[in-house]
Structure 1
Protein backbone atom coordinates (compact mmCIF):
# COMPACT_ATOMS: atom_id res chain seq x y z
CA UNK A 1 0.00 0.00 0.00
CA UNK A 2 1.35 3.45 -1.00
CA UNK A 3 0.25 7.02 -0.41
CA UNK A 4 -0.65 8.49 -3.77
CA UNK A 5 -2.22 11.83 -2.77
CA UNK A 6 -2.45 14.28 0.10
CA UNK A 7 -5.47 16.59 -0.21
CA UNK A 8 -6.16 20.06 1.16
CA UNK A 9 -9.62 19.03 2.32
CA UNK A 10 -11.89 16.02 2.60
CA UNK A 11 -13.96 16.88 -0.49
CA UNK A 12 -10.87 16.94 -2.70
CA UNK A 13 -9.69 13.63 -1.24
CA UNK A 14 -13.08 12.05 -1.94
CA UNK A 15 -12.98 13.25 -5.57
CA UNK A 16 -9.54 11.66 -6.04
CA UNK A 17 -10.70 8.45 -4.34
CA UNK A 18 -13.72 8.28 -6.68
CA UNK A 19 -11.54 8.91 -9.76
CA UNK A 20 -9.18 6.10 -8.77
CA UNK A 21 -12.02 3.69 -8.11
CA UNK A 22 -13.58 4.66 -11.44
CA UNK A 23 -10.22 3.67 -13.03
CA UNK A 24 -10.44 0.28 -11.21
CA UNK A 25 -7.66 1.21 -8.81
CA UNK A 26 -8.57 0.08 -5.28
CA UNK A 27 -7.76 2.89 -2.88
CA UNK A 28 -8.48 3.93 0.68
CA UNK A 29 -8.98 7.30 2.36
CA UNK A 30 -7.09 8.03 5.58
CA UNK A 31 -7.26 10.95 8.04
CA UNK A 32 -10.87 11.77 7.17
CA UNK A 33 -11.49 12.74 10.81
CA UNK A 34 -8.01 14.02 11.69
CA UNK A 35 -8.75 17.67 10.90
CA UNK A 36 -10.75 17.89 14.11
CA UNK A 37 -7.46 17.28 15.95
CA UNK A 38 -5.66 20.21 14.32
CA UNK A 39 -3.75 22.16 16.92
CA UNK A 40 -2.94 19.02 18.86
CA UNK A 41 -1.04 17.40 15.99
CA UNK A 42 1.00 19.04 13.19
CA UNK A 43 -1.36 20.28 10.47
CA UNK A 44 0.47 18.32 7.77
CA UNK A 45 -0.43 15.10 9.62
CA UNK A 46 -4.11 16.02 9.52
CA UNK A 47 -4.46 16.29 5.73
CA UNK A 48 -6.74 13.66 4.18
CA UNK A 49 -4.64 11.09 2.32
CA UNK A 50 -5.49 8.68 -0.47
CA UNK A 51 -3.53 5.43 -0.59
CA UNK A 52 -3.60 2.83 -3.36
CA UNK A 53 -4.07 -0.69 -2.06
CA UNK A 54 -1.74 -2.39 -4.55
CA UNK A 55 1.78 -1.04 -5.06
CA UNK A 56 1.62 -1.93 -8.77
CA UNK A 57 -1.24 0.61 -9.21
CA UNK A 58 0.84 3.51 -7.86
CA UNK A 59 2.15 4.88 -11.19
CA UNK A 60 -1.22 4.54 -12.94
CA UNK A 61 -2.89 6.21 -9.97
CA UNK A 62 -0.44 9.12 -10.15
CA UNK A 63 -1.33 9.57 -13.84
CA UNK A 64 -5.05 9.63 -13.04
CA UNK A 65 -4.42 12.29 -10.39
CA UNK A 66 -2.15 14.30 -12.70
CA UNK A 67 -4.91 14.34 -15.32
CA UNK A 68 -7.38 15.53 -12.68
CA UNK A 69 -5.05 18.30 -11.50
CA UNK A 70 -4.33 19.48 -15.05
CA UNK A 71 -7.93 19.48 -16.28
CA UNK A 72 -8.92 23.04 -17.17
CA UNK A 73 -11.84 24.55 -15.32
CA UNK A 74 -14.97 24.53 -17.48
CA UNK A 75 -17.95 26.80 -16.96
CA UNK A 76 -21.52 25.65 -17.47
CA UNK A 77 -23.38 22.42 -16.86
CA UNK A 78 -23.55 18.99 -18.44
CA UNK A 79 -26.20 16.30 -18.10
CA UNK A 80 -25.14 12.83 -16.95
CA UNK A 81 -25.83 10.23 -19.66
CA UNK A 82 -26.58 7.56 -17.01
CA UNK A 83 -28.95 9.24 -14.55
CA UNK A 84 -29.79 12.56 -16.23
CA UNK A 85 -28.55 14.66 -13.29
CA UNK A 86 -27.11 18.09 -14.07
CA UNK A 87 -23.44 18.50 -13.12
CA UNK A 88 -20.96 21.38 -13.37
CA UNK A 89 -19.08 21.09 -16.67
CA UNK A 90 -15.73 20.68 -14.90
CA UNK A 91 -16.84 17.46 -13.15
CA UNK A 92 -15.37 14.23 -14.52
CA UNK A 93 -17.80 12.04 -12.57
CA UNK A 94 -21.49 12.57 -11.87
CA UNK A 95 -21.97 13.74 -8.31
CA UNK A 96 -25.15 11.67 -7.98
CA UNK A 97 -24.36 8.28 -9.57
CA UNK A 98 -20.57 8.39 -10.09
CA UNK A 99 -20.72 7.71 -13.85
CA UNK A 100 -18.07 9.21 -16.12
CA UNK A 101 -18.89 12.51 -17.83
CA UNK A 102 -15.88 12.58 -20.16
CA UNK A 103 -17.88 11.40 -23.19
CA UNK A 104 -20.51 14.08 -22.68
CA UNK A 105 -17.85 16.79 -22.32
CA UNK A 106 -16.17 15.77 -25.57
CA UNK A 107 -19.50 15.83 -27.42
CA UNK A 108 -20.43 19.27 -26.11
CA UNK A 109 -17.02 20.73 -26.97
CA UNK A 110 -16.98 19.43 -30.55
CA UNK A 111 -17.20 22.04 -33.33
CA UNK A 112 -20.35 21.94 -35.38
Structure 2
Protein backbone atom coordinates (compact mmCIF):
# COMPACT_ATOMS: atom_id res chain seq x y z
CA UNK A 1 0.00 0.00 0.00
CA UNK A 2 1.35 3.42 -0.99
CA UNK A 3 0.25 6.97 -0.31
CA UNK A 4 -1.08 8.54 -3.49
CA UNK A 5 -1.96 12.04 -2.32
CA UNK A 6 -3.08 14.36 0.42
CA UNK A 7 -6.32 16.29 -0.05
CA UNK A 8 -7.24 19.74 1.21
CA UNK A 9 -10.53 18.49 2.65
CA UNK A 10 -12.74 15.42 2.91
CA UNK A 11 -14.85 16.33 -0.11
CA UNK A 12 -11.81 16.53 -2.37
CA UNK A 13 -10.46 13.27 -0.94
CA UNK A 14 -13.76 11.49 -1.56
CA UNK A 15 -13.91 12.75 -5.16
CA UNK A 16 -10.40 11.42 -5.77
CA UNK A 17 -11.30 8.12 -4.13
CA UNK A 18 -14.39 7.83 -6.35
CA UNK A 19 -12.39 8.59 -9.50
CA UNK A 20 -9.93 5.86 -8.59
CA UNK A 21 -12.80 3.45 -7.95
CA UNK A 22 -14.24 4.17 -11.40
CA UNK A 23 -10.83 3.25 -12.84
CA UNK A 24 -10.87 -0.04 -10.87
CA UNK A 25 -8.06 1.10 -8.60
CA UNK A 26 -8.51 -0.17 -5.05
CA UNK A 27 -7.80 2.75 -2.69
CA UNK A 28 -8.39 3.74 0.92
CA UNK A 29 -9.04 7.03 2.69
CA UNK A 30 -7.07 7.77 5.87
CA UNK A 31 -7.35 10.61 8.41
CA UNK A 32 -11.07 10.72 7.71
CA UNK A 33 -11.84 11.72 11.30
CA UNK A 34 -8.61 13.53 12.15
CA UNK A 35 -10.17 17.00 11.85
CA UNK A 36 -11.42 16.58 15.41
CA UNK A 37 -7.84 16.40 16.64
CA UNK A 38 -6.86 19.83 15.38
CA UNK A 39 -5.20 21.77 18.14
CA UNK A 40 -3.81 18.60 19.67
CA UNK A 41 -1.99 17.56 16.50
CA UNK A 42 -0.43 19.70 13.75
CA UNK A 43 -2.95 20.62 11.06
CA UNK A 44 -0.80 18.99 8.37
CA UNK A 45 -1.29 15.64 10.13
CA UNK A 46 -5.07 16.03 9.90
CA UNK A 47 -5.32 16.29 6.11
CA UNK A 48 -7.18 13.39 4.49
CA UNK A 49 -4.90 11.01 2.61
CA UNK A 50 -5.68 8.69 -0.30
CA UNK A 51 -3.64 5.47 -0.48
CA UNK A 52 -3.65 2.85 -3.24
CA UNK A 53 -3.85 -0.73 -2.02
CA UNK A 54 -1.76 -2.27 -4.81
CA UNK A 55 1.61 -0.64 -5.41
CA UNK A 56 1.44 -1.30 -9.15
CA UNK A 57 -1.63 1.01 -9.38
CA UNK A 58 0.30 4.03 -8.07
CA UNK A 59 1.40 5.43 -11.45
CA UNK A 60 -2.07 5.09 -12.97
CA UNK A 61 -3.57 6.69 -9.86
CA UNK A 62 -1.16 9.61 -10.08
CA UNK A 63 -2.31 10.29 -13.65
CA UNK A 64 -5.96 10.27 -12.57
CA UNK A 65 -5.32 12.63 -9.65
CA UNK A 66 -3.17 14.93 -11.78
CA UNK A 67 -5.89 15.14 -14.45
CA UNK A 68 -8.49 15.93 -11.78
CA UNK A 69 -6.33 18.67 -10.28
CA UNK A 70 -5.77 20.24 -13.74
CA UNK A 71 -9.50 20.45 -14.44
CA UNK A 72 -10.43 24.13 -14.65
CA UNK A 73 -12.94 25.41 -12.13
CA UNK A 74 -16.22 26.34 -13.83
CA UNK A 75 -17.30 29.81 -12.77
CA UNK A 76 -19.85 30.66 -15.46
CA UNK A 77 -23.42 31.17 -14.35
CA UNK A 78 -26.81 31.19 -16.02
CA UNK A 79 -29.85 33.13 -14.84
CA UNK A 80 -33.27 31.52 -14.69
CA UNK A 81 -35.78 33.15 -17.06
CA UNK A 82 -38.65 32.35 -14.71
CA UNK A 83 -37.34 33.67 -11.37
CA UNK A 84 -34.03 35.36 -12.36
CA UNK A 85 -32.08 33.22 -9.83
CA UNK A 86 -28.38 32.67 -10.51
CA UNK A 87 -27.46 29.02 -11.19
CA UNK A 88 -24.18 27.27 -12.06
CA UNK A 89 -23.69 26.91 -15.80
CA UNK A 90 -23.92 23.11 -15.73
CA UNK A 91 -27.38 23.00 -14.07
CA UNK A 92 -30.28 21.94 -16.27
CA UNK A 93 -32.99 23.07 -13.86
CA UNK A 94 -33.16 26.12 -11.63
CA UNK A 95 -32.34 25.17 -8.06
CA UNK A 96 -34.90 27.68 -6.76
CA UNK A 97 -38.01 27.21 -8.90
CA UNK A 98 -37.27 24.07 -10.95
CA UNK A 99 -37.71 25.77 -14.34
CA UNK A 100 -35.62 24.56 -17.27
CA UNK A 101 -32.44 26.53 -17.94
CA UNK A 102 -31.95 25.62 -21.61
What TM bracket, shorter-length normalisation? Answer: 0.7 to 0.9
For the pair 1:77 / 2:80, whether they are aligned, the reply is no
Q: How does 1:58-69 map to 2 (within 5 A)?
A: 58-69=58-69
Q: What is the rounded CA distance, in whole Å, between the counterparts of 2:61 and 2:38 in structure 1? A: 28
Q: Unmatched 5+ residue regions in structure 2? A: 77-88, 94-102
Give the match for residue 11 of structure 1.
Answer: 11
Give the Å deviation of 1:73.
Answer: 2.0
Whichever of the two has the greater Rg, that structure is: 2
Give the match for residue 21 of structure 1.
Answer: 21
Q: What is the rounded CA distance, in whole Å, between the counterparts of 1:68 and 1:15 in structure 2? A: 9
Give the match for residue 44 of structure 2.
Answer: 44
TM normalised by structure 2 equals 0.73
Corresponding residue pairs, total: 80
- The runs of at least 4 consecutive aligned structure 1 residues that moved more than 3 Å come to none
TM normalised by structure 1 equals 0.67
DSSP 3-state at the match of 2:47 = coil
